Chains A and B, each alone.
Chain A
Amino acid sequence: MIHELPNLVGRIEAVLFVAEAPVSLPLLAQLLAVPEGVVEEGVALLNARLADQSAVMVLRIAGGYQLSTRPEYAELVERFLKPQHQRLSRSLLEVLAIVAYRQPVTQSEVETVRAVQSDYGIRVLVERGLIKEVGRKESPGRPILYGTTQQFLHQLNLDNLAELPDVEGRDFSQLELDIS
């Protein structure tokens, strides 16, 4: 079917080229007025075309598609952009992993796992937009519940939480996460 659609691959490329954030599959399908399966085929064709002659690729990240430079050009692009990489220390990664796997989770639940105070880690991760408040727990004091954000997926190069390795038998397919 895809071959019957004139310049579908080019149209996908045009949208992804100007997009500053991942474009979701439903949105692409809606924009191009084709079924999602056709878009997926189109993206695969685009990626194959880019693989031959381009320094960019289509990446499936944070629940959508986005154009990215290839890793082999990282040094050059870094010299040009001079990005400020934020360090994620071991303790921040611990908090982040616990929130990712146990979400929605309260600060005290994170502290129970780590057995140390984690208010600093929670605060830093919220400031960096990697976790956010997702509600209040219906327990005494109604503590804040935290969950991961779309930024978390983007910064950790994940399309969705199911890509995380299986820990404690956690099944992410059951998790409906608000990542707006």
Chain B
Amino acid sequence: MAALSKGVPRTSERSVTVLGVVAPPPIRVEGPRFSGSLATLFQCVRDRKIDLRGVPLAPVCEAYLDYLGTSSNWDLDGAATALEALSYLLERKAWILLPTPEAEPDLQEPVSLPEPTTDLFDEAIASLRQRRDLRERLFFRGPEPDQDPYEPASEARPVTVKDLARAFERLLAKAAPIEFEPPTERRRSLSEHMRLVLRALSREGCTLEDLVPQPFTRSEAVWWFLSLLELIRLDQASVRLRGEDVVFSRKERPAA
């Protein structure tokens, strides 16, 4: 019924659609009553040209989820546009199918956005890019002003983001399900949590799973992981690979 076409349009190839300026991913909808793209289905429904009762939406939603799960180059704008279109279609269909005496309200129709005029700036963008490339080949005395404060310390370089993500994934797999508790205690700030993590870190180092005290929830796992990243950035913790394992340790501080 619904399938994902190959090839996601790049930003520069996007056209203005009825959904706005960003085309949704190329999800094809095939069925006895309708055959075409998600964008076309949306337009037809919005313009009251098609009866949604003959168009099953579950396969379209599945194709969308499949797109999110399998496509390596999906972008947030396109995904959000498709989600908005799907939610619109589902709401319209719900009003058709649900037995309610209430009349269908006027759903908020997407406002047609103005056409982008960024092409006016193409020359400027090309010029900025060119200048930026040249600038990257020039070095000046003193601290480079564009050091990103959120970049991890250089020592973390041998450990890739994938290594960190894998270590975090392994930790999350062991997390206990979150039980609802009414908020009674004051929420701990990240800096407070960082102090806690710093105390738990040894100079020898250990894996994330050995570091976080058991049992822990997914939220606690996230707090521990974020705190570690921040400590690495501040050069108070270090991370290295030991075989397949990512090992976190307390950074040696030079004696004053």
Contacts and interface: CB of A to CB of B under 8 A. Distances in A.
Given A86-B146, A88-B132, A74 B138 contact: yes
B124 A167 contact: yes
B125 interface: yes
Interface in A80-117: 81-86, 88, 90-91, 93-94, 96-98, 100-101, 112-116
Interface residues of B, number: 40
Interface stretch (B47-55, B111-119, B190-198): B111-119
Contacts of B21: 114-116
Interface in A29-77: 59, 66-69, 71, 74, 77
B118 A151 contact: no
Given A100-B124, A116-B77, A165-B123, A90 B11 contact: yes
Given A84-B151, A116-B22, A156-B135, A151 B145 contact: yes
Interface string B144-157: 11111001001000
Contacts, number: 117
A179 B12 CA distance: 32
Interface residues of A, number: 46
Max chain B C-beta neighbours (<10 A), residue from A17, A69, A97: A97
B127 A165 contact: yes
Interface in A14-30: 17-21
Contacts of B151: 84
A156 B124 contact: no
B132 A155 contact: yes
Contact of A168 (B12, B120, B147, B148): B120
